């Protein structure tokens, strides 16, 4: 799906629901500034949830290469945006991923695409972290995988406790990363800016 030109089935119905929501909020959907808003929001929501139409495992296997490299591969500072499934407000931040190959590597950009696929769904940060790790684990069968996600949540910033500077960090790991020394090496490597 090209998010700029192609939309999924149900776009018109989605727009009509947004029109009802705007009316229920007390606004006039017939005034100039809001005439096209229901369709714009419907299109935006389809783009923000396009991960439902994509297969993250296929992304990894489309660029799978036999390689004897068996040390840590890290892709860090992968920007992401997602929607909290509890309030449908954004949460955003960075994902850091490491894996230790076991005979096969994947294209580096594919790791970032996996993050995009899982973040473009209604999510909670904890599940997203786990899904990224599981996908890489089950597809590449590496010696280990570790994922760290750092995010700010608009549902905490705009409503509820209204804490603008809080950051939530989640991690998931498997295999060789069960060893504290390996996890610490990864954490040291992602804490330094190298470029």
The per-residue pLDDT string of the chain (195 residues; one tens digit each, 9 = 90 and over) reads: 565 568 999 999 999 999 999 999 999 999 999 999 999 999 999 999 999 999 999 999 999 999 999 999 999 999 999 999 999 999 999 999 999 999 999 999 999 999 999 999 999 999 999 999 999 999 999 999 999 999 999 888 888 888 788 999 999 999 999 999 999 999 999 996 655
- CA-to-CA distance for 180 and 37, rounded, in angstroms? 51
Per the residue annotation, which of 125, 131, 135, 172 is the catalytic one? 125
Give the model's pLDDT for residue 3: 57
Residue 5 has a pLDDT of: 64
Catalytic site residue from 120, 123, 135, 153: 153
Pick the catalytic residue: 6, 12, 67, 85? 85
List beta partners, residue 84.
123
At which residue do the structure tokens 């960075």 appear?
94
153 an active-site residue? yes
Structure tokens at 18: 């947004």
Q: Which of 150, 155, 157, 185 is catalytic?
A: 155
Given the residues 87, 134, 150, 185, the one annotated as active site = 87
Annotation says 84 is catalytic = yes
Residue 162: per-residue pLDDT = 80
In the chain, DSSP finds a helix count (H) and a strand count (E) of 7, 7
- Catalytic-residue membership of 135: no
Active site residue 192: no
**Active-site residue, 87 included:** yes
Phi (first) and psi of residue 11, to 5 degrees: -60, -45
Annotated catalytic residue, options 46, 84, 96, 135: 84
Q: In the 8-state DSSP scheme, what is residue 192?
A: S
Residues 6+ apart with CB under 8 A from 141: 102, 104
């Amino acid at each position: 799906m090209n998010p700029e030109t192609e939309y999924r089935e149900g776009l018109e119905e989605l727009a009509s629901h947004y029109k009802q929501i705007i009316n229920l909020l007390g606004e006039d959907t017939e005034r100039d500034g809001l005439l096209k808003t229901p369709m714009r929001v419907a299109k935006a929501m389809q783009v923000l949830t396009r991960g439902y139409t994509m297969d993250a495992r296929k992304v990894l296997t489309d660029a799978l290469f036999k390689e004897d490299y068996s040390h840590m591969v890290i892709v860090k500072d992968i920007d992401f945006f997602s929607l909290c499934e509890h309030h449908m407000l954004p949460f955003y931040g960075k994902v850091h991923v490491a894996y230790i190959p076991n005979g096969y590597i994947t294209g580096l950009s594919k790791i970032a695409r996996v993050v995009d696929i899982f973040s473009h769904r209604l999510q909670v940060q904890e599940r997203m972290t786990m899904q990224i790790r599981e996908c890489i684990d089950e597809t590449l069968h590496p010696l280990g995988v570790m994922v760290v996600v750092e995010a700010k949540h608009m549902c905490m910033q705009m409503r509820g406790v209204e804490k603008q500077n809080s950051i939530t960090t989640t991690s998931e790991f498997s295999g060789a990363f069960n060893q504290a020394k390996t996890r610490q090496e990864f954490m040291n490597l992602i804490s330094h800016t190298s470029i």
